[in-house]
Structure 1
Amino acid sequence: MTISKMKLKYSSLFFVPFVVMLGVFLSLGLTPFSQNSIHSGDFLSQYFPLYIGLHKLFWSGDFSGLFWSFEKSLGGAMPSVWGFNSLSPFTFLYVIFPISSFQVLSYVIPLLRAGVMGVVFGYFLEKKFQGVSKHYWLSLGLASSYALSGFVVSQQYNPNFLDNLVYIPFILLGIEEVASGKRSVKLPLFLAISLITDFYTGYMMCLFVALYTFYVVFSKDISLKEATLKLAKVALFALIGVGLAAFWLLPVFSALLESKASAGSTFAWSWNSVNDLVAMPQKFILGSFGEKEWGDSKALPQLFIGGLGLFGVCTFFAKKEITLRKKLAATVVLLVLLLSFSIQGFDQIWHMGQRPVGFYFRNSWVANSFMLVLASESLMQWKDEFRLNEFLVAIFGFGSILVLSTLRILQYVETSQKILSFIIWTIILLAFFFRRAERVRRLQLTAGVVIVELMVSSFVGFRRAPYFIGNAGLKEQMEFAMAFDKEGYSNPNPFTRMEMHKGLSHANFPIAFGYNGASHFTSSLEHELIEEMSHLGLPTSQSVVNYTNRNVILDSLFGVSRFMMEGDEKRVFADVRGMYAKEGAMKNFAIYRNPYAFSLGYLTNENTATNIAFEKNQPVANINQLLQVIGLSGTNALSEVSVQEPATTNLTKGQEKYTLTNEGESAKIEWKFNLQPNKLYFVEIPERQAGSVIKSKVMLNGIGYPYENRFHENQLWMIGNGNLDQTITFAIEDAKAKEWDLRGFKFYTIDITTLANALTQYKKANDITIESYTNAMVKAHVTVTNSEQSFATFTIPYHSGWSVTVDGKKQEVKKALGFFMGVSLTEGEHEIVWRYTPPGLHLGMLISISSLLLLIFLWKKHKNE
């Protein structure tokens, strides 16, 4: 079988970026089995666990997990999670292949993505300019520049920002086809795919569609009426694309309204500058990426598109074959993009009304793509002759970048990078303007030089990645995911919850391992859940809930029946060692069973359950409100312990605060007191001193205390059990803070027997039997014998998508225990059924079906015409 020349050319467009990326990985010593992986940033803590979870979701057959999951903290809406973290075809490779292959897949997928980007941009060049067939070497250089741009390299470990680069060529071709009156479904189809696979960058794609449509329409010398008709037609097909995605988009935006939007942040216009315009041109220099950029609010957009792309952009504005109208239209689009990178208000528009938290200018791919389109316009109609104006513009473009680089010093743009860029740009100028050698040889040289430039840029950029995560971390997650299945802890039946004590990288383990947990990490975590968990003294932040500082009270009321702890038993929380039964072990974790854990639902007093309202920075008072549910209050609840003033070293006591005596030395603060038998002890850590605590060592009886340093509010830590230890020494060592206010450090206790008896008796009398459940349905049975305890509280976070029926009749859903759900009952035997329907799903399906019918109608109408 013979392979056509075009197939070979397209194959090369795939393999060149693929091999360049592979060469960079190997040159850095990165393989699927090396000590370090190719990944960095949030990949281990956010993306990889979700890929495992997506695999388990599809093979479980419970597709309702796409919309709601009890594995997202105590339960939460999932469209915004899956929609932000990408449902791209590359992600679905994790669904198709077994979990045991994920370590290799995570290495191969970035290579495949780069190769596909090269092919699709080559397809764009061929359809628009016959680029691959007639200008192969230029197409190879441009396609490789597209696949290995500065944005792709710098964001390689944020895969959800990259998949739109696969769709852009089809969408841009679709815009041009629709505007020219051709029959086309590329725009609505790929815009819908873009919005479904990642709504966040899909939103940016919609803005890009508007800009590119302006460029295409106003580049033509047509009347205003004709231009308006073309704009309207493109807008119609774009809206059809949005409509096709509505079945998914409306549930996504509904979930966002009850998560990020509920945080109360509103868009406020600002003309503040967000970066340095003089320094920005240096981002066109190879390797212009720094390890600290991801968290620097003054970071610059990733604009590197290779020397060939930059040359094409410069000469675009000097080329006489390109009309003045097209140049003016391109200038307007570039100015809009420049404003978007420079002014906070414009920047926030691109990021859905907010400035990102880290990884700034996630819309850089828009600028890169548009600039490479302009470069293609120029280079694909290049006349092999010396034109002084084109030569001078190219010299000015390259030269101005180097001159401006002397005015601003960027740590990640070294002199060697400037020199190498100068050499590469010089070779490109010689290849295009000095024509002694055969044209094809000069273009081959250009393509080869640019590919080398892209390889060096990728190598330098990857070498400066914020940090490479170890392959051991990926392997550990894979092994645990399989172990949870083997041991029967995944998809537990009947319903149970469990948690493990570990750091942030394990916040998404419930989803990865398939158990109902309490921790979660995602940018779209429900804000109310974060707030309420913070009120209870748990470590949280804008996008994280870590159930690490749990205690037997919260475990029992939230139904956490198992707790996993790594390491020496002495490091296990005192209530776990004293009150839980050690059940076994899984790898390096000990598993403890909580005998007091309630069911997912239990009967409560309606007045008590519905009138609980937590206050900020009052974790003890808030937990005491929960204890009232089981009949504990006053001295039977958490009570403050009077302790002596701490012993201090290198601190001088003032009227209200302690100050560092000798600033060159560290300080120590130590509380030591005797424990009473049969008592649990806690310490409250004030949020206002969190920064000082984090920079110190926290020690409990000489061992480092395993806390999570995410202080959204005051935290409450379990520190002692009078049946296990006679004394406590709680210390803050190696303290560097100049000032300490120790008044907020308070100690509390509760009687173990009183608490255990109350929990046991309450569970026996009020637990509700869960007969069956999925992520979208809970069926329960209960017999109410006491009208004072006739309110069924379910520890499902309150969400508008849930409805409830009692004995087949729909009932009102009420808030319970501050942020859960409940329903009123009468005395007698009842069947309770909770069902979750994603808000917006039905309307979205109607819109999607209507949009599909409209698209079919327009397609057929155009065919008949």
Structure 2
Amino acid sequence: MQVRKRRWALSRRQLTLWGAFLVPFILMTGYFIYRQMAPFGTSSLLTVDLGQQYIDFFAYLRRAILHDPSSIFYSFSNGIGGEMLGTWSYYLLSPLNWLLLLCPGTSLTTGVFLLTVFKYGLAGLSFAWLLEKTTQQRGFKAIMFATAYALMGWSVANQLNVMWLDAAYLLPLIFYGLYQLMHTGKWRTYVIWLTLMLVVNYYMAYMICLFMVLAFCWLAVDRFSTWRHFGKQAGKFVLASAISGLLSAFILLPTWWSLSQSKAQYTVTTFKWHFDFFPPKMLAKFFLGAFNFDQMPDGTANLFIGAIALLGSLFYFSDRRIKLRTRIASGILTAFLALSLCFQPLDLLWHAGQFPVWYPYRFSFIVSFWLIWLAAQTLTADFQPGWLAISLVTLIVIAGSAYVGINLAKFKFLTLNQLLLGLLFVILALALITLPIKHHWIYPLTFLVIGVTEVTANAFISLNNISYVSQSEYGNYTNELQRLVNRVQKRDHGFYRIGKTFLRTKGDAFQTGYNGGGVFSSVLPKAVPTFFGNIGNPDGDGFVEYSNGTLVTDSLLNMKYYFQQNQLAGALSGTSILPASSNKADLADYQKISSDHWATTYKNQYALPMGYAANQQILTLKNKTADPTQYQANWLAALTGNSQDKQLYTAENFDQVTFQNINQQTKITGAVLQKKNLLKPGKITLTFTPTTNDAYYFTFGSTVNPDNATFILNGKTLNQYKTYRNTILVSAADHAKGHQQKVTIQLSKGSLWLDNFTLYRLNTPRFQAAINQLKTQPWHLTTHTSRYFKGTITSKHAGQVLNTSIPYSQGWHATVNGHAVKTYKTIGMFTAVKLPKGNSTVTLAYWPPLLNVGLLISGGTFIILLGGWWFSRRHQ
């Protein structure tokens, strides 16, 4: 009989764990099938950053592992080139990402589907495991709490931030490790799971580590016996946490270096001691469906956990079965978490000193975990609240609901129906919790049905507020771009970059595997957007996009090929699977080499090689001008050593300017255009007739953008990437001698400041002479990969340098004729090496800074732990 009973207990436990995994897994799979997500329909899970950023990194992951291991450490798809360990440690180290290897090409969206539903399921499984190990919750009730955790508001709202969802299933395991450490002194479980979290995603791991400090304090109060015992516990906690840090040093140290070049440079050093909003506003987020698109960039924390868990967490504080000191400590910890959701200094603390760009209060999954954990401890079969507790909880619920109801108009993400439905579940939950009979089998089943129904309704309502990219929109674009890239790479096996005049995402180069000029990444080095802004291309703190290249920058950045979308005629006029992002009239200077239905490929005969001999003036150039035309000219002049190249661009006048419903202006550049009648359209028309076949460019200041005006060039809308914060260069005309060019600016608002709006002419013959000079001494590459270059070069004069378009990094190491030499940074961006006179063999190899130190620390720590374990076993 005892054997049978033990088998039954084991079987029941397995059923609970399987149920905890399958319920959220099946619920979300069912919802996605209902929304026709690939592979079950024509839509996809791609939305916002998942569709504009992460999907490109996933494509890169597959290519790096399966086809190009050299790009694991460095990739020229990362903007114009960048280290990749920071990208891996933030976006790509989830162990579940191996599923993506099964999904080639555009079926990558199916991989995203699998990642998402598996992470929901694992979150439920790990929370159920925690409950099995630390509480009396079993069966249906444990499954309900696990599902409430897996489908909490944070998980639903951040499902698109799929790399954060690993934190949801690892947090319960780390917490259990800490719980075990405090109760038994065993630290192995804590170290294993915390180390995995630190490796998988350092950002979310930071938040969990902060919570572990708070949880240790809470558990120390709960388990306190003597100060000596407390000291031993604190020592074990600090030591175990340090061991996890040392074991993960191989990824943390190079990541720290990467962050020091990027995100760390944006850390807030001053802040205000104030509340971000009136704290009771958070109460609205406890109602189901309290989420929409507007909450992503700037909303309150996502706190939904379901009525049962919420009421259970309130009843916890009246549960006399729990020690008073423990409940007081729980109250203090809960208050600290609540303050963190609205008090700016604490909010910054959780986000490592940086205000989140979109997705505020990213740590709220910890708050939800804590509240559900409190509820699970209290809502056991033998819990029966007293009338005082019931009255207090009821009053709190009534007061909170009344506040939300009275201010319902202020909560755009909440409707009256959602409020009433939420109150219905509160009433059902309150009745369920206070019911005196809890031992009948119907009770836990009812518990499960009510709880799961509510969290499912929340997911349904919340996600119905979000739109997604169709599978065809993603697939058609990606397939066409891949065809274009493959065609070029098949004919040219050298090293070069590719530009294009259309865009789906700034990570298109990652998606289809070419060396490009754009990227959207949270670990983008600060020097990169600074450089892009200097040369007249769109940039931001986390992105760059090479949409506004000129003949000069195309040449200096090795943009050897260009793709341009075709203008379709007839019934298809104005439609394309390749959405235009820039106007590039200067493609007239390039050679057309191929074309298909959707796009034409050009070859840039002016493109310089990866490296070439240049004047040593480039090493001392201080290019501080804010004018992108002058910046480019100064850059080229320093390379050639010819001061006349500084006059590469010339400002040109317009032939005629006419105003319609706008006050007359005598000067265009810097003018403020003001509508006379705000109710009527206002526009300004400018004409110029090129007197040469040179390339002409406009400069647009940050206010001269598509949000403030519509720009029409020769009767066609001027295509331009919308977001830029510095002056950009826009290609206006080329090979148009004697042909009048007409530019119309239609105001979208009452006024427009023509900030840095100027017409420039490039002296093309002078530009060609300068490029031809630099081409005479190329770096002939004999070997090249993503992180290694070797080639020969001849320096005709003493003091010349090998100038490259490889972004400078401490990770690049150079040798000249077998001897290690110093690398130099040019214009704050690129890598150069001094050359001796004559023939030289030069190599450049990349290895991530601090990676060797990290490997040594992690390996040494692991060996010490292994030795200690072996010695202990041998001793026993």
Q: Which residue of 1 aligns with 2:279?
A: 277
* 1:127 and 2:133 aligned: yes
**Structure 1 pair 332–366 and aligned structure 2 pair: CA distance change class (3 A):** same
Contact kept in structure 2, 1:561 and 1:595, CA below 8 Å: yes
Q: Which residue of 2 aligns with 1:489?
A: 489
Q: Which amino acid aligns with 2:663?
A: T
Deviation sequence 1:812-832 (CA, Å, 0-9, x none): 211224421111111111111
**d(CA) in 2 for partners of 1:262, 1:302:** 28
Contact kept in structure 2, 1:427 and 1:446, CA below 8 Å: no
* 1:611 and 2:625 aligned: no
* 1:690 and 2:704 aligned: yes
* 1:117 and 2:129 aligned: no
Deviation sequence 1:705-754 (CA, Å, 0-9, x none): 11112222111111101347712112212x13333344731111123344
Contact kept in structure 2, 1:386 and 1:434, CA below 8 Å: no
Q: CA deviation at 1:859?
A: 4.5
Contact kept in structure 1, 2:690 and 2:737, CA below 8 Å: no
Q: CA deviation at 1:31?
A: 4.7
Contact kept in structure 1, 2:698 and 2:759, CA below 8 Å: yes
**Structure 1 pair 635–15 and aligned structure 2 pair: CA distance change class (3 A):** closer
Q: Which residue of 1 aligns with 2:833?
A: 823
Q: Which amino acid aligns with 2:813?
A: S
Deviates more, 1:642-651 or 1:654-663: 654-663
Deviates more, 1:738-747 or 1:353-362: 738-747
Equivalent residue in structure 1 for 2:676, among 661, 665, 683: 661
**Structure 1 pair 92–480 and aligned structure 2 pair: CA distance change class (3 A):** farther
Q: CA deviation at 1:480?
A: 4.9
* 1:291 and 2:305 aligned: no
* 1:564 and 2:579 aligned: no
Q: CA deviation at 1:481?
A: 7.2
Deviates more, 1:715-724 or 1:569-578: 569-578
Equivalent residue in structure 1 for 2:589, among 576, 579, 603: 579
Q: Which amino acid aligns with 1:627?
A: L
**d(CA) in 2 for partners of 1:518, 1:492:** 19
Contact kept in structure 2, 1:138 and 1:379, CA below 8 Å: no
Deviation sequence 1:551-589 (CA, Å, 0-9, x none): 221111111101111132998855543211112246723
**Structure 1 pair 386–777 and aligned structure 2 pair: CA distance change class (3 A):** closer
Contact kept in structure 2, 1:678 and 1:753, CA below 8 Å: no
Deviation sequence 1:457-489 (CA, Å, 0-9, x none): 011100112x32222233236535753675363
Deviation sequence 1:493-548 (CA, Å, 0-9, x none): 32111122223x42111122111111111111111111011011011111111001
**d(CA) in 1 for partners of 2:584, 2:488:** 27
**Structure 1 pair 246–442 and aligned structure 2 pair: CA distance change class (3 A):** same
Q: CA deviation at 1:19?
A: 1.9
Equivalent residue in structure 1 for 2:205, among 202, 221, 236: 202
**d(CA) in 2 for partners of 1:437, 1:346:** 41
SS at match of 1:744: coil
Contact kept in structure 1, 2:535 and 2:628, CA below 8 Å: yes
Within 5 A, what are the aligned runs for 1:454-465?
Answer: 454-465=455-466
Matched pairs, number: 849
SS at match of 2:186: coil
**Structure 1 pair 573–459 and aligned structure 2 pair: CA distance change class (3 A):** closer
Q: Which residue of 2 aligns with 1:240?
A: 243
Deviates more, 1:47-56 or 1:586-595: 586-595
| TM-score between the two structures when normalised by the length of structure 2 | 0.92
Q: CA deviation at 1:407?
A: 4.2
Q: Which residue of 1 aligns with 2:572?
A: none
Contact kept in structure 1, 2:519 and 2:544, CA below 8 Å: yes
Instruction: Structure 2 unaligned segments of length 5 or more: list them.
Output: 1-6, 570-579
Contact kept in structure 2, 1:431 and 1:443, CA below 8 Å: no
Within 5 A, what are the aligned runs for 1:356-375?
Answer: 356-375=356-375
Q: CA deviation at 1:221?
A: 3.2
**d(CA) in 2 for partners of 1:485, 1:697:** 32
Q: Which amino acid aligns with 1:681?
A: Y
Q: Which residue of 2 aligns with 1:69?
A: 75
Q: CA deviation at 1:652?
A: 0.8
**d(CA) in 2 for partners of 1:785, 1:397:** 84
SS at match of 2:469: strand
SS at match of 2:489: coil
Contact kept in structure 2, 1:118 and 1:143, CA below 8 Å: yes
Instruction: Structure 1 unaligned segments of length 5 or more: list them.
Output: none
Deviation sequence 1:677-714 (CA, Å, 0-9, x none): 32110111122x235x4232111111111111222211
**d(CA) in 1 for partners of 2:246, 2:646:** 60
Larger RCO, structure (CA 8 Å, separation 6 or more): 1
Deviation sequence 1:119-175 (CA, Å, 0-9, x none): 1111111111253xxx21110110000110000111111112211111112101111
Q: Which residue of 2 aligns with 1:782?
A: 793
* 1:525 and 2:531 aligned: no
Q: Which amino acid aligns with 1:103?
A: T
**d(CA) in 1 for partners of 2:389, 2:242:** 40
Q: Which residue of 1 aligns with 2:634?
A: 625
**d(CA) in 1 for partners of 2:106, 2:247:** 35
Contact kept in structure 2, 1:199 and 1:249, CA below 8 Å: yes
Within 5 A, what are the aligned runs for 1:792-807?
Answer: 792-807=802-817
Contact kept in structure 1, 2:612 and 2:779, CA below 8 Å: yes
Q: Which residue of 1 aligns with 2:45?
A: 38
Q: Which residue of 1 aligns with 2:108?
A: 102
SS at match of 1:646: strand
Contact kept in structure 1, 2:659 and 2:685, CA below 8 Å: yes
**Structure 1 pair 217–151 and aligned structure 2 pair: CA distance change class (3 A):** same
**d(CA) in 2 for partners of 1:562, 1:276:** 55
SS at match of 2:424: helix
**d(CA) in 2 for partners of 1:367, 1:471:** 35
Q: Which amino acid aligns with 2:122?
A: V
**Structure 1 pair 324–769 and aligned structure 2 pair: CA distance change class (3 A):** same
**Structure 1 pair 427–490 and aligned structure 2 pair: CA distance change class (3 A):** farther
**d(CA) in 1 for partners of 2:240, 2:788:** 38
Contact kept in structure 2, 1:151 and 1:364, CA below 8 Å: yes
Q: CA deviation at 1:645?
A: 5.6
Contact kept in structure 1, 2:633 and 2:647, CA below 8 Å: no
**d(CA) in 2 for partners of 1:841, 1:416:** 55
**d(CA) in 1 for partners of 2:631, 2:326:** 64
Q: Which amino acid aligns with 2:256?
A: F
Q: Which residue of 2 aligns with 1:474?
A: 474
- The root-mean-square deviation of aligned C-alpha atoms, in Å, is 2.5
SS at match of 1:286: coil
* 1:760 and 2:769 aligned: no
